Structure formats: structure tokens, C-alpha cells
Structure 1
Amino acid sequence: MSNRPQVRGRRGLVTAATAAVAVLSLVAAAPASAACGKKHGHKAEGATTYHVSPTGNDTFDGLSTGKPFQHIQKCADVMVAGDTCEIMSGTYPETVVPAHSGSSGLPITYRAAPGAKVTISGASPVTGWSQVTGADVTAIGASDPYAVDSLFSDAVAAGHVWSTNVDLGSDPGTVQVFTDKSMDIEAQWPYPGLDLLNPAIEHAGAGSADAVIADAAQTRPAGYWDGARALTGYWYVSATTTVASSAPGSVTLSVAPPCVHKVVPTDTRYSLSGKIGELANPGEWFYDPAAHKLYVYSTDSPAQHTVEAKQRQLAFDLTNASYTSVVGLDLFASTITMGSTSTHNTLDTLTGTYLSHYSDITRGATDCGSSVTRGVSDTGIVVNGTYNTVVNSDLSLSAGNGIALAGQNNTATDNIIHDVDYLGTYAAGIAVMGNSQTVVNNTIYRVGRSGINLQWGTTAGLTAGPDKIAYNDISQYARLSLDTAGIYTCCSADMMGSSVDHNLLHDGTPTPGVTPFAVAGVYADNGQSNLVIANNVGWNNLQGTVMLNGLGTGSHNNGVYNNTGGLTLFYVKGADQSTGTKIYNNIGQIVGSDGATDGGLVMSNNLDPAVDPLFVNAAAHDYRLTDASPARNAAIPLPGVNDGSTDAVPSLGAYQYGAPKWTAGARR
């Protein structure tokens, strides 16, 4: 059994403890001859538990802690339905690819041994360090003359730069380096600091346009940045290109940022990398792919620390696996993926850090947002197929998603996800693709763009159905992007009655220094239809708890019911742009309501913002209703939406008077 608690909550998911009881029951029920056969390592009725230790040997039988396998992959090679791989403490630098699947009632299980701390690592040690000297700088200057008189050469003179030979591939945009289990950053300008979700940001200055970034703070000599990589971000579009030419005060990009968003003065953020001259700050590295040489800035020898580099993308490759459980393990610099035929896999009580990494975002000229797949569908814990579950896990530090839910009828519940999407793309804490997905009781915070990105797609051969997004606590979103929300959904899709309900959505944190726009709690953007948005509570959001945008095909047949914290209606006023949409029983200011009914929507029984709702304690974000609240006995009854009031008539807002207060977030 895992050393971590196996709490599942109220939705009846199968627990590892239950599976263990089932296994024990099977063993207990086996006849004596079968039990004897298993003792001698022969396959018999029931299930086998194998053991793994870093000090084991794959030539052992693995049937006891005294003769364990050395690699988890050895378990994966021999296990069949009902078997368990019990893993002893240690770090396992491998990608596990199961040879077999479990079956209904007989899963294959990989779990930590009782009391064990098990890490599956995608990183490998980097050793062989030597201090970089002035002679080395002179040699580097033969190919990069700007390195000779630079911040890098100053750092070398101070004794702070070290190097080693290591092959990390040909693309610096995929390199990831760690010192003592914390991620270092590629040398760049401006130096962003080491907090990936709160970097120091430089913005394009006056005179910028299209592919030209003008900035008086950019003082490097003419030609210094030629050939460098440039990451730009504006509004909701992040992209990487190269520098065609540079001079003090400006750089010209080889390709303008894509979509309609070119370089915009004061609003476009940017950074420049790929020049060793910038290697001059704590926690930085520079990689020369031609020479296969890694440089790091360190005030003492890197040999005094644990320095590692990412070498493997995956801890477990479950592309062809089903009925497989992974329980109680830590993932470092790696993640888990499933395939389109994967079914009934369970990932339980995992701790994943640095799940996915990349630093380049390439796009076509017209790619505006979710059409770009890198970071959206292929990062974080990737759950594809059907009836798979991620539960009770703590997932953090990913350039892309925390979890990607593709396929159909998959579930993410009771997870804590934070510090993800540190490139500010269309990735999210949980990217919900496919359909019929369930995302409940998760806590998500500090994300580059959205906490939950709710898109829509169908799966061949399966009947599409609605998503359920409920009881999540999401905060500190939009740290590196705009035009988004705690829960964001787009564009022109029939959501088939998908429900976004009972979520806490608060403290949107738009990128500092830019013109703020559209940071809401829930944002149905560009013509989403047949969506129920009910009983959500929001605070400290620019556009309130709910925002509707009718551009595209129009925002039709949506139900916006009993939300607390205000609404924004955006482009829902033209003829037929919002027919069938109902806005009932909400508390908070409704911005853009003038003329909104011209688009066809119906508004009724919303509390006038001039009337004090008389909450229990709004300053402490307790938005329940006091005895004297005018929101009592004031709502249109909506069965299944506003049940539970002890009054004769339901209440306005997200909390029914007299009913137990609902809570959101991971239940642990």
C-alpha cells in the first residue's frame, strides 16, 4: 500500500486500498497448491507482488524484498492482470512502458512500498565541471566576438562560470537544467529571476511596430542580438522567432508575431536568449549545441551541488496500457501519457514537479490561440482514451499544462495544481479537450493563462456528451496573458449542456504593465452555446464572475444562473447574437446590459447593483446571505440549480439561505 492517504471523496472512485483488499482476498481464496506455487515463483491463480529497489538486480525473481528487481521496467515486462509492482525508496531514472494491461477487477498496479519515497526522474546527473578562464573567453570570441567584452566575460573574471561537455541535443529550446532539484534558467535579457510565474518583464517601447521592438533599455552593441531567439507575448498570443538584425535601442525580428497581434508599444512583452554574453546571473545556464558544452553561473563549484539535465520526457508511457494504476509516486522532470485506446487507468496520489518543458513556441502566421497544439494537448499529465482518472495529486511547474484531458469520460478530481503554463500559452492548469469530461474539486493557482481551458472536440465512434466543471477553487490566473479567465472556453462550439457550477474564482492577476482586458471568473468567448454557468462565486476579477462574448456564431441558449460577483456582456447586443440565453438570479453588477436584450437574451430577477445584498462578511469573502438580505425569497425557482433554501422561494446568488455552505477545492 502507498505511504500516502488514499482519500477518494464522495464520488465513489476505486481506491488503491480497495484494490489491495481485493488482491488479498484473491490470495486468501486460492487453494493451497496455488499458494505453494506462487511461493516458488510460478504463475498461479490470483496475483503476484513484485518488488523493486535501486540496489536490486533484474536477474532476481523480484518476489521478495530480499531479491528485488533493479528497474521498474522489469516489473512492467513481466506483470499481467492483477499483479502489483511494489517499489522501494530511491530514484529511478527510467521511462516505464508496460508490456501488458490489466483487466476489469484485476488492474496492474505500480505503487510505493509502505513508507517509501519513490521518484521517477527524467533528469540525469551532469558532472565533470571545470572553471571557465580568460583563455576560454578568447577562444569563444573567435566565433562570437561580442562575448569578449560582456557581462559573461566579467563573470568569468570573477570566477563564477563553469563548463562541462554533455550532449543535450541540438535544440537549446528543449534543454532543462536543475541545481539541487530547482530549475535553472537559460541566460537571457532581461534577467527574469527564478520565479517562473513572476518574472521580471520588459515591454516594447515607443516606436515599436510589426516586427520591430524599440526599447531604450536595450543597449547592447549593433549586431549583438543577430541570430538570437526572441520570445514575445501580447494579449493571448505567445510566440518565438529569431532576431534578423539589432542595434542599440532596437531589434528587428525575422518574422512578426503571428495572428493580428504584431509588436505593440508598452503591451508586448519580450525576452532575448541564445547569446553567451548574457550568462552573468545566479541560476543561469547557456548551452552550445555545436560543441555539446554546457555553461553555468555558480558562485562555487557545481561539483558541490547536484546538477542534472532533462534527458527523458516520460516517467510512464501508458499509450498502450489500460486498467493500470500508478499510486503514491513522485515524478521529477517527467510526466505520464496515455493513448487513444487507454481505458480505466488511475493515477493516484502522485507528486509531480517540472512535468513538461520547452521554451520555443513556433506558430504559423495566422495561428491565434488554441489552434496551436504545442503545450496545449501534449504537456502535463496527458490523459487520453476513456474512463481514466487523475486523483489526489500535487502537480506543479510545467511550461504547459498540469493535466490535459483528451478523449472522453475522463476525470480529474481532488488535485492541487500550481505554477504551470509558465510560458503563458493556451495551456492551463487543466486543459479540457474532447467531451464528457469531469473536473471537480481541484485547487488551481498561479497559472500563466487559465486555470481550466475548456475546449470542445469529438471522439470518433463515441457519442459526445456534456462536461462537468464543478467545485474547483481557482486563483491567480492570467499571470502572463490577457483575454482569459479562471475557467475559459472558446470558440463557437455547441457545449451540449456542459455545466460550470459551484466554482470559486478569484484574484485574477493580469500581467503587470499592460492594458488590462478580460480577466474574468468564467469567460465564454466568441460564440459558445448551450452552456450552463451557475452558482459560481468570484472576486477581484476585472470583468466579474461571468463574461459572455457573442462574437462568432453568437452566444445562444446559455443559462447564467445564481452567480455571485457580477457579469460582463460583450458583443451580445446585435440581432440574434444571444437568442435563448437566460440570465437569472445573479448578484452583482451586470456590465454591458444596456441593449443586451436586443440580441435576444432574457434577463430576470437579478439583484440591482445599487441594492446591498447584505452578505455575512463580504470583506472575508463569505457571500452567504444574512437574515435581512433582499436576495432571499427573490429567485426564479430552477430545479437542480437553486434547490436547498429554507425559505419558501429560492435565493438569488450562489448560496441558498439556510442551506449548508458548499465548499470548493481539493478535499484534503
Structure 2
Amino acid sequence: MRIRRLSVLATVTALLTFPVQAHAASSASSGHTYHVAPQGSDHATGTRTSPLRTIGACLHRVRPGDTCLVHHGTYHEQLTPPSGTKDAPITIAAYGDGPVTVDGTERVTGWKDAGGGLVAADTNLPPDPDFNAVFLDNKRAAEGRWPNSGADPLNTTWAEADTTSTDQRIDDTDLPDADWNGATVHLWAGSNPWAQQTGTVTTTAPGTLDFKGGNYRCPPLCMGNQTYRNYYLVGSKAALDRPGEWYYDKAAHRLYLLPPKGGITGHTVTAKHRLWGIDLSDSSYVTVRGLDLWGTSLRTGPASTGVVVDRLHATYISEFSTLPMPPDGDLAIPPFEGHIVASRILDSGVQILGTGNTLEHSEISQSAGDGVLVRGTGNTVTDNYIHDVGWMGSYTPGIEINGNGHTVTHNTVRRTGRAAIDTAWQLNGTEFHDNHIAYNDISEAMRTSRDGSPFYVCCSLNGSGTSIDHNTAHDADGQNGYYVDNYSGHFLLHHNVAWNTGSRGVFFNGHTGPSIANEDHNSSYGVGINVASVALGGATDASGSYFSNIVGPKPVTATKAGDPLPVVRSNLISDQPGYTDAVNGELWLTPRSPAIDAGEVVDGVTTDVLGAAPDQGAYEFGAPVWSTGCDLPGCQERVRHGSWTATASDGTDASTTVDGDINTRWTAVDPQTAGQSLTVDLGEDKTFDRISLDAGRDTSGQPYGFTVSLSRDGRHWGEPLARVSGRSFTQDAVFPRQTTARHLRITLTASGPAPWVVNDIRLYGDGPDASSTLQAEQATEVRGADRGTASVSLRGGDRVGFHQVNINGGHLAVRLAPECVRGCSLQLRLDSPDDRVVAEVPVSGSGDWQERSVTLKHTVTGAHDLYVVAKGTGRVAGLDWLTIRP
């Protein structure tokens, strides 16, 4: 996802901070409460009327059981709390009167003319120079690079080396004639480049440069005359050619900047000074609640225990420009060159290390490396929104899981350079057991890589006691939805869902070695899978592997090796399995599905059976539909796919661009030229602010540049709302504001050597789409109701609410289980739980889950807060989901 707008941040802040004061007050009853505010004094008493000025001063005073209540403001300091005790933790909490930001940056001043259109300031940037970050007017400023790229680091523009290049030399006739000595060369190259690497330029000449480093595995990871020869250069003053770009001279401690048009006057430049704004590496039994982080991150330590991080909002947490080999001491097994993939896993992201610590209800975004690192034993990461991370292209994912006994559930992870959820063999060794990874929604992964998946395990791991269940993986440019790679065994997968994940739903890769006792049961796989629903391949020993009750479009296959041989049975392979809406990922069953009662009993897996036998697939017919992901603002964004049509300016059939299947492709007739276009008719008005243009995993055919224009009627077109450059697998056009339109036009702005290709066009909005299935248990507000994993139970006066829902329709459909004899109903209200009733669904009787539809009093359009309020006494109904459609 893009950088969040202030209006969204205000919503998040309102939702996250107002409950904080009550929580903090209750914890404070056992100890002393100190207040902190920017207008205070560190010599004050710390009362509400005489607050302290810095959080550090409060932490210097607190003892176990005490609380620091922090008032609205920005605090340029590093927090290092002392430890509390199990029965008397120390609490640092936002007071609730506005955002509380711990800022890891400091302002850079003293700018002087440096010649050549540049300005420079003498400044000492404390972090390791590889971790420097610079911000211009509170936006990330890009380090000077060639070739230039757009503002989104996940939409990367690459240079392509000539075929005469060798392992440590790049030949490129397009390379500008400049002194590149000492620059960092970033490589994504080889016959099958499953990792990215960096090296240092040693000599340069016109059209060529030599470098040292990188190329740890040649092939498949090297420059030379390979299928992929992509690279870019950073870390050189010669690359400064676009306003806002910067270069830091480490030896001279001088920051150079190409200023905006009109000069540096009136602009604010800040630079990172603190890697860890909240450093809990020596702390235990500390609660951090409702704080924001900007340009810095948070970590616990290997000995930390009892730390709770709740409602954190962390932005621009990690930045770096090199991918060095990890130190030998960080590796769990003897080092060798292939361990370049583990670069930066242990020194980036929000880090939850130690035993029995928790990260919950938080939003983590904008990281060159990890989103979250969880490492140790028995930690919990739940109900978090993690996005726009891992853009440097190593194995740093949205959530990195190392160790044993962790719980990672109900997280939404999207827009990652490689995996959304990953575990690194190089760091775990053989220790990865008894972990529970469930109810996570992982999408838009593999943005800067090609060999991987949204969920990835590697390698040689024994996953005994680990369960990967009830997750959804979709809309990713890797090869599989779930990938258990290279000799790993004893992994149990069940009740997972995948669509638009490339070749397979799940792949257990023996890779000329063992793949023992791996299982997948009761999973559902949909469109956008073109090789196998489930595959176990390349194994010399697949003993004890077992795949059953799978529903999918392609076969379930397993290497016939081992004793006992793998079991493959009771699976439904069909292109018409009776899914509700496969294109939109609604893979639950309709009444006539052949999967109903067609499964077999699997101990510990088929535990909630309705009917004569277990159903095949991930959803038991007649039971409430379980959901994945977090329930924070932003967690539900994708706009429901409808009856879309597309036409190409060259007259070719472009229907495959809007069929919802990433494996179908439209290809233009001629090489790319400015003015070529695709026009899409959405069939009805949709509200959105981002378009994803997916060109698959090929590196040829992605646009070199394009614009997006919108129209309500298909005849009158506005000025372009987005301009995009870069050639990543999926390119995002982000609008400055949320917009409603029925028609969109994508127009090329640059030429390219290959014809334009598009596999899929997707739309995203800043709130949930009411025409999609809104799961009741994912409501952003639940009052009085009992929230379960698949539904909520409502009594009279209870309610669930969804904030800023995009609505365009006149009919409400709900799925409910009535629990009222008479006089009950579910009321749909807009904008406030006490506002007008726009629809009412009568509820009476008791019985099974059922769908009911009513007509709204009037058609509703636009973005509204949406509430379902239960009317009656006692129990009214269980609510599974609702939709509003035309």
C-alpha cells in the first residue's frame, strides 16, 4: 500500500488513542502515574497540571507498577525503560488527546551552496552510514541513484547490463560517463535470481564498471551473460540529478542534496539519528501502548519477557542501502556463500525477541527490510497491519519467524519485496517447532523477487508441532501460495486458501533431498493457479506425507518415494467446484457443491463437521465463514471485482486483463510507444485510490511509464491522476485522493523494446468495499457483542461497526443465525450508531445459518461509517457477514 494520508492517520489515531487512557488508568491503580507533555519541565512533579517534558525523565523516575501517560506531541528521544515485574509492569501510554510520536530524526541545518546546483550541510549522522535515511518535508527522500526510479521503492526501475558483462564487470552502453568509484551496485541478476546482492564499484570507464562483492552463487546468482542482468547504482555524488535526492560523504560528514525547484529555503530536511526509538533490549514486563514511531523502530532483547506492545503505529522503521553477508555469529549453521539471503534479517524491522512478549493491534510500514522479526520462544504477534516492507529484495519479509512456540495470527501483510511470512533456515538451524501461524491474510508479495511465495519456509527445518492453518494467500507474483522448500519436513497445513499465486497453491520442494511427513488437508485453491493445487516434488524420500480433502483447479501430486508412500486421496479437482465467487476469493461452498460431505476424517483437522461427513475444502458448508487478517483501518482494501471489460487501442482482445486471473495475459501487437492505451469499463461506479497493473513474473513487457485517467461516463476524461515509472512485476498507480469512477484509461508515456503486457488489473480503496463480503468478526468496532473467529453474537443493543465503507447500492444481504422468538431485528445505520435506519432485517425463531435480503430505503453511495445494531431483548442473532450491492 502507499504512504497513508493524513485523513487516514487521523482515523487510526482516533480509534487507537481514545481507549488508551482508560487502560492506562486501570494499570496505574497499583502504582504512581506521571504525566509528560511538550510544554512541561523535567524538574516538575509530573502531575496532570505540572507535567514532565520528556518521556526519558519519566522513565528515570518510574518503579514497577508505575505509568507514564504521554500527551499529544513529538518527542525526539530514545526510550530505554527499566523493567517492571510480572505483577507490576511499567506502562508507557498515550494519554488520548492526540498522536504521541517518538521521532528518530533530527533536523539538518546550515545548508550552503555546493556548486552544480547542489546544497550541502556538514552534519554527523550517528547511525552506521549504511542505515542512513533522509526526509524532505516529512516525506522519504531517495538516495541518489542511477537510473532514477519513482517515489515508491517497491516500483523499482532497473538498468540492464549488456550480454558481454562478466561476474565482476558490468558493460552497459547506457551507463552515464561519470566517476562511479566507491558507489554501491545493487544486483538482481542471474539465471534464477532468488535473492538480491550488493557490491562496491572499484573502477569505472565509459560504458563499463568493475565491482567487488555480490555474485556469491554463480550461477544462478551472478551478473555475466545471464537471463537476468538487472542493476542500479547508489552511494555516489554523480547520481544526484533529481530534486530531493541526497548523498552522504561519510569521510567528510557532509550531506549533499539536490534541492527542490526554488532552492532549499522554506523546506525542512531531517535525517535519522536513532535506529531504536524504543529500546527494550534490556527490559522485561513493560507495556507500550498507543505510541507512534517515525523514522525509527522498536526492539526487545533475547532476555526480554512479559513485554506488551499495543497499538503501535510505526512508519519508516528501517532503511539501508547494502546487503552484506551476515556475521558468522548470527548463523545457526556453518556459513557458506549462499547465506547472503539472510542479510539484514536480524538488524531491521520491529523486533520482538525473547520469551512471552506480544505485539498486537499495530500498524507497521515502510521498511527496506523486515516488517516484524519475532525470535525466541513463545512470543505472540496478532492483529497487526504490516505493509510496504522488504523492498531491498533480500529474505526480509513482512513477518520473520525464528524459534519455537510462537503464535502469529490475524495479521494482514501486503506489499512486500519477497515473502509476507518467512522463516530463515540460516538463522533457525533445525529449531522451528510448535509454532501456530493462522488466520493471516497475505497478499501482494514478491514485488522485487521471483522465486518464492507469500508464505515461505527454508530450509532443512523440522516443523513438528507447527500448524499453518486458516490463512489466505493471494495476488502475488511468486510461484506458489505456500512454499515449504528444500528438505523441510513435518509441516502440517490445513484449511488454507490461495488464489492468484502463480504455479501452485502449495509446494513441498524436496529438491533432491527428503521431504518427510508434510501434510495439507481441507484447503481450497482457486483461479490463478496453473500447474498444481498441491505438489510435493523432487524428493528422494517423501515418507508419511499426506494430502486429502483438497479442492482446487489443478491436480494434487506427490513424488512416489518413501515408506510409507505419500497418501493422496479424497480430493476434488474441478474447474467448477461450487465456490461462491472464485474471482473475489470467496471459496466457500454453495448448496450444490460436490465437495459437501465428500471428505474423509483427519484426526485433529476435521473437528467441526456438519452433515454426514467432513466437507472437502477450507470452509464447512453450513458453518459461519471464517475470515483472515486484522480488524484495523486499512486491513480491508481490495475493491470487489465485477463484470469488467477492457479494450486496447490497437484493437486486440484485452479481456484477459480484467478476468481476475493472473495467469492469463494480454500482449500488445507492437513494441511500447507513448500513447498506447487500455480502457476499462467497471460496469458500475467504484471508489478507489490505487490501481495495480500486474505483468506477471516476466521482466519484459512491463510499461516504462504510464498515466491513469478516470471518467464517470466513458466520454469525458479528467487530467491524469497518477503518473508511474519503473518496471517492477506489479506497478501501482496511487491517486492523491480517493475517487469514484466507472471508467479508467491507462496510457503509456514512454517507448520500450518489447510489446506491452498485462496479466491483471486490480483496484484498491482506503476502506472496505460494501459490495464485498464484510465479515462481522472483522468489524473495526464491536460494542457489547461477542466476537468469535467466524462470527459475532448480538444481544439487544449490541452493535458492530465498519469505518469509512465504500458503498454503492440499494440492497442489503446478511447471513445470520436467529436466536429470537419475536420482535427482533438487525438495523443498518449510517455515519452513527444512533443515526437514521436505512434498512431493517427482521429476526425471529432459532435455527441454522441463513441468508436474508432487504431493500434499502434509498440507494446509498459514497464512503460512510456503517453500523449493524441489534434490536430486541436477550439474544437476537449470530451475524456472519453482510454486503450492500446494487
Matched residue type, 1:82: G
Report deviation, 1:283: 2.5
Matching of residue 91 in structure 1 with residue 61 in structure 2: no
Matching of residue 625 in structure 1 with residue 624 in structure 2: no
After the TM superposition, which residues 127-206 of structure 1 pair with which residues of structure 2 at under 5 Å, given as runs?
127-132=109-114, 136=115, 153=116, 156=117, 161-168=118-125, 172-206=129-163
SS class of match (2:516): coil
Matched residue, 1:307 = 269
Matched residue, 1:233 = 188
Paired with 1:59 and 1:390, the residues of 2 have a C-alpha distance of: 33
Report deviation, 1:227: 2.9
SS class of match (1:494): coil
CA contact (8 A) 1:338 1:382 kept: yes
Matching of residue 451 in structure 1 with residue 420 in structure 2: yes
Equivalent of residue 538 in structure 1, options 498, 501, 504: 498
CA contact (8 A) 1:434 1:456 kept: no
Report deviation, 1:277: 2.2
Matched residue type, 1:414: D
SS class of match (2:557): coil
Describe the superposition over 1:318-376 as per-residue Cα deviations: whole angstroms up to 9, x where unpaired: 1121110111110011111111111111101011001112111112894324763x421
CA contact (8 A) 2:511 2:538 kept: no
Paired with 2:304 and 2:582, the residues of 1 have a C-alpha distance of: 46
Matching of residue 20 in structure 1 with residue 40 in structure 2: no
Paired with 2:129 and 2:424, the residues of 1 have a C-alpha distance of: 31
Matched residue, 2:296 = 334
Paired with 1:626 and 1:568, the residues of 2 have a C-alpha distance of: 20
Report deviation, 1:596: 4.2
Paired with 2:502 and 2:162, the residues of 1 have a C-alpha distance of: 25
CA contact (8 A) 2:409 2:437 kept: yes
After the TM superposition, which residues 48-87 of structure 1 pair with which residues of structure 2 at under 5 Å, given as runs?
48-62=32-46, 64-87=47-70
The range that moved more, 438-447 or 276-285, is 276-285
Q: TM (normalized to structure 1)?
A: 0.84
Q: Give the strand-richer structure, 1 or 2.
A: 2
Matched residue type, 1:507: D
Matched residue, 1:548 = 508
Matched residue type, 1:181: N
Unaligned runs of 5+ in 2: 1-11, 327-334, 633-886
Paired with 2:559 and 2:101, the residues of 1 have a C-alpha distance of: 58
Matched residue, 1:43 = none
Matched residue, 1:651 = 615
Equivalent of residue 667 in structure 1, options 618, 631, 656: 631
SS class of match (1:272): strand
SS class of match (2:155): coil
Describe the superposition over 1:485-518 as per-residue Cα deviations: whole angstroms up to 9, x where unpaired: 11111111111121111111011135xxxxxxxx
Equivalent of residue 588 in structure 1, options 552, 559, 563: 552
Equivalent of residue 385 in structure 1, options 347, 354, 365: 354
SS class of match (2:583): helix
CA contact (8 A) 2:126 2:273 kept: no
Report deviation, 1:5: 4.5
Report deviation, 1:574: 4.7
CA contact (8 A) 1:190 1:272 kept: yes
Matched residue, 1:245 = 203
Equivalent of residue 252 in structure 2, options 278, 291, 300: 291
CA contact (8 A) 1:633 1:650 kept: yes
CA contact (8 A) 2:382 2:411 kept: yes
Unaligned runs of 5+ in 1: 8-13, 25-45, 137-152, 511-518
CA gap 1:616/1:560 in 2 versus in 1, 3 angstroms: same
The range that moved more, 265-274 or 537-546, is 265-274
Paired with 2:471 and 2:421, the residues of 1 have a C-alpha distance of: 11
Matched residue, 1:368 = 338
Paired with 2:195 and 2:159, the residues of 1 have a C-alpha distance of: 16
Equivalent of residue 401 in structure 2, options 432, 435, 450: 432
Paired with 1:597 and 1:250, the residues of 2 have a C-alpha distance of: 50
Describe the superposition over 1:140-188 as per-residue Cα deviations: whole angstroms up to 9, x where unpaired: xxxxxxxxxxxxx4xx2xxxx3222212259643221001221111111
Paired with 1:16 and 1:428, the residues of 2 have a C-alpha distance of: 33
Report deviation, 1:130: 2.9
Describe the superposition over 1:261-310 as per-residue Cα deviations: whole angstroms up to 9, x where unpaired: 11153414211123222211133111222332212122133331221000
Paired with 1:51 and 1:594, the residues of 2 have a C-alpha distance of: 62
Paired with 2:456 and 2:110, the residues of 1 have a C-alpha distance of: 47
Matched residue, 1:516 = none
CA contact (8 A) 1:634 1:651 kept: yes
The range that moved more, 169-178 or 374-383, is 169-178
CA contact (8 A) 1:352 1:396 kept: yes
Q: TM (normalized to structure 2)?
A: 0.64
CA gap 1:629/1:3 in 2 versus in 1, 3 angstroms: closer
Matched residue type, 1:593: T
CA contact (8 A) 1:429 1:451 kept: yes
Paired with 1:369 and 1:570, the residues of 2 have a C-alpha distance of: 26
CA gap 1:457/1:83 in 2 versus in 1, 3 angstroms: farther
After the TM superposition, which residues 524-535 of structure 1 pair with which residues of structure 2 at under 5 Å, given as runs?
524-535=484-495
Matched residue, 1:353 = 315
Identical columns (%): 34
Report deviation, 1:115: 1.7
Paired with 2:340 and 2:493, the residues of 1 have a C-alpha distance of: 22
Equivalent of residue 376 in structure 2, options 407, 410, 434: 407
Matched residue, 2:572 = 607
